[in-house]
């Protein structure tokens, strides 16, 4: 029986790092669902057609981690037709054996509401901006403004707004090392799997 782990939260909260580490630890598949939206935004043109024609090569582009791609992703993610095109792909991915870890902004609330484990990973705005600035070699104040703009847009969108699922375990990584955050996530999953 496949086991699904849904990890949501804002940019630079640590959700991707935790998701990759959980997938490696438990031998599960991993999907950074934000890459789907980044790839759609990066393709340009009609976003619905881009979502419909998305390929593995699109997900392998080396420019998908840029701040520009993140902003484009946030814009196209607000389009209901784009989300509808990508939802089937994500749900199919989530039910692979032996299990899958998906990270994004609406996994536990929309994509996989029945996930066996739901985590909502967050951190303070300033901590997230500093992390992203270090990652991209950018100005922290500029990153703070961009993150706040994106968070506001993602939380206010009419379709699948970013918010924790009612039954999600909240994990604030503001004052945690990645090792400590991973340990909490790992123990949560292990308990649910009956290994804790």
- The whole-number pLDDT of residue 89 equals 83
pLDDT along the chain (196 residues), means of 10: 94 95 97 91 92 85 87 87 90 93 94 97 96 91 92 82 93 96 98 84
Report how far apart, in Å, the C-alpha atoms of 2 and of each of 36, 104, 114 are: 22, 19, 12
User: Cα(154)–Cα(161) distance, rounded to whole angstroms?
Assistant: 6
State the binding site for ATP.
9-17
The Cα angle at residue 114 between residues 119 and 96, in degrees rounded to 5: 90
Q: What domains, with CATH codes, occur in the chain? A: 3-189 (3.40.50.300)
Report how far apart, in Å, the C-alpha atoms of 110 and of each of 62, 66, 71, 159, 165 are: 28, 26, 21, 10, 9
Q: What torsion do the CA atoms of 23, 14, 147, 32 make, to the nearest 10 degrees?
A: -10
- The whole-number pLDDT of residue 196 equals 58
State the binding site.
9-17
Q: pTM above 0.75?
A: yes
- The whole-number pLDDT of residue 74 equals 84
- The whole-number pLDDT of residue 162 equals 85
- The whole-number pLDDT of residue 169 equals 97
């Amino acid at each position: 029986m496949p086991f699904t782990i849904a990890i949501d939260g804002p940019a630079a909260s640590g959700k991707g790092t935790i998701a990759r580490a959980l997938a490696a630890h438990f031998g599960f598949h991993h999907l950074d669902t934000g890459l789907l939206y980044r790839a759609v935004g990066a393709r340009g043109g009609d976003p619905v057609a881009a979502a419909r024609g998305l390929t593995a090569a699109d997900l392998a582009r080396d420019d998908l981690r840029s701040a520009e791609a993140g902003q484009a992703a946030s814009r196209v993610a607000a389009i209901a037709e784009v989300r509808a095109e990508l939802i089937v792909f994500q749900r199919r991915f989530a039910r692979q054996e032996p299990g899958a870890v998906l990270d994004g902004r609406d996994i536990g609330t929309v994509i996989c509401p029945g996930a066996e484990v739901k985590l909502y990973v967050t951190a303070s705005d300033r901590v997230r901006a500093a992390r992203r600035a270090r990652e991209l070699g950018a100005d922290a104040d500029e990153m703070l403004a961009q993150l706040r703009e994106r968070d506001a847009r993602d939380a206010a969108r009419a379709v699948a707004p970013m918010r924790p699922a009612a039954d999600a375990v909240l994990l604030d990584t503001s004052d945690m090392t990645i090792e400590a955050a991973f340990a909490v996530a790992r123990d949560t999953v292990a308990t649910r799997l009956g290994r804790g």
